[in-house]
A = this chain, B = another copy of it.
C-alpha cells in the first residue's frame, strides 16, 4: 500500500474545520450587529448599566437554555421548563414560608438544597416518561408541563405565592441584586453554569455520549452507550438548570404565581437554536446558546429603548429581527 499520498494530506487540511468554526462564530456576529444597531437607536443603550441590565435579566432564559442544549443535543425536547420554574419556585417559597427551620441562614441553605432536589426530580420524571415510557418527548413534556403548571395553580389556590419572612427576603435579595467583584451575581452565575456545561459537554465522556445519542442512537447503542440513561440524565441536567434559574428568580420578585414562566420553554428553545444548535440533535453549542439568549433579550431591549416603534408592532418587529439575524448567520456560514 503506497504511503506516498500521505504528503498530499498536509496541504489544505484546515479547510472544513474552518467553516465549522464559522458556524460557531455566527451567533456572535449577529450579536455584534445588534449591539451596533442598539447604539444607533439610543445613546443610553451602550452604557454599562443598560448592558449589565440586559445580561442580568437574560439569566433565567440563558440558564434554562443551557440545560435545553443538552436535551436538544441528545435529540429530545423539553416543553415543561416554563411550568417547572413556576412549580419549583412555588415549592421553594412555600418551604421558606413554612418556617420549618428557625435560623434564617440555615433555612435559606435548606431551601436552596430543596429547590435543587426538586429540579432534579422534575427532570428525572420527564426523562423517565420519555425514555422508559417511550413517548415522544414533545408529548411527554407537554403532559408534564400541564402537570407542573396545574400543581402550581393548586398550590397557589389561583393566586400568588409570596415570600413572607422579611428577614429571609433581605438575606436572599443579593443573590439577584448583588454583585461580585463589580459584576452582577446573575451574570456570574450564567458564566459559571455555562463554563461547567461546556466542560461537561465537550470534555467528558458523558458529553460525547450525549452528542452520539443525538446524532444516531443506533450507533450509540452499538457502541455500548446506555442510550436511555444518557437521555434521562440530559433531562435531569435540564431540571438542575431550571432549579438554578429559580434560585435567581425567587429573590428577584420574591413571589410567584401560576403564570410564572409562561412561554419560557419557547424562548429557551429559541435561544438554543439561534445559538447554532440544530433541533435534530447531534451537536451542542453551549456558548452559542448563551449568545442566543442575549440576542433575544437585546432585541426586546432595543425595541423598548427605541421610541419610534408603535407598541402594537413590537411583536412583529421582534419576529422580523429574529429571522433577519438567522439569515445573517446563514449567509456568513455559506460564504465561508
Q: Show the binding face of A for B, using Cβ within 8 Å.
A: 79, 129, 133-136, 138-140, 142-151, 153-154, 157-158, 266, 269-270, 273-274, 278-279, 310, 312-320, 322-323, 326-327, 330
Which residue of chain B lies nearest to A135 when distances are taken between CB atoms in the complex? B326
| Nearest CB on B from A268, distance (A) | 12
Complex Cα–Cα for A135 and B216 (A): 22
Point out the residues of chain B lying under 8 angstroms from A310, CB to CB: 154
Complex CA–CA separation, A323 to B130 (angstroms): 10
Contacts of A315 in B (CB 8 A): 146-147, 149-150, 153
Structural contact, B133 and A327, CB atoms closer than 8 A: yes
Secondary structure class of chain A's binding surface, majority of residues: helix
Give the residues in chain B near A326, CB-CB below 8 Å. 133, 135-136, 139-140, 143
Smallest Cβ-Cβ distance to A310: which chain B residue: B154
Number of copies of chain A assembled together: 2
Shortest distance in angstroms between A322's beta carbon and chain B's nearest beta carbon? Answer: 4
Inside 8 A of A154's CB, which chain B residues have their CB?
Answer: 310, 312-313, 316
Asked whether, in the complex, the Cβ of B135 is within 8 Å of the Cβ of A327, the reply is yes
Distance of A327 from chain B, by nearest CB (Å): 6
The docked-state distance in angstroms from the alpha carbon of A143 to that of B143 is: 25
Cα–Cα distance between A322 and B319 once the two chains are bound (Å): 31
Whether A150 touches B316, Cβ cut-off 8 Å, given contacts A140-B323, A140-B326, A322-B139, is yes
In contact, B320 and A139 (Cβ under 8 angstroms): no
CA distance A178 to B310 in the complex (A): 41
With contact pairs A133-B330, A319-B142 given, residues A150 and B270 touching in the complex (Cβ less than 8 Å): no
Contact B312 A153 (CB under 8 A): yes
Q: Which B residues are in CB contact (< 8 Å) with A266?
A: 79, 142
Interface pair B319/A136, CB less than 8 Å apart:
no
Taking CB atoms, residues of chain B closer than 8 Å to A273 are 136, 138-139
- Once the chains bind, are A320 and B147 in contact (CB under 8 Å)? yes
Contact, CB under 8 Å: A133 / B323: yes
Chain B residues in 8 Å Cβ range of A319: 142-150
A56 to chain B, nearest CB (A): 24
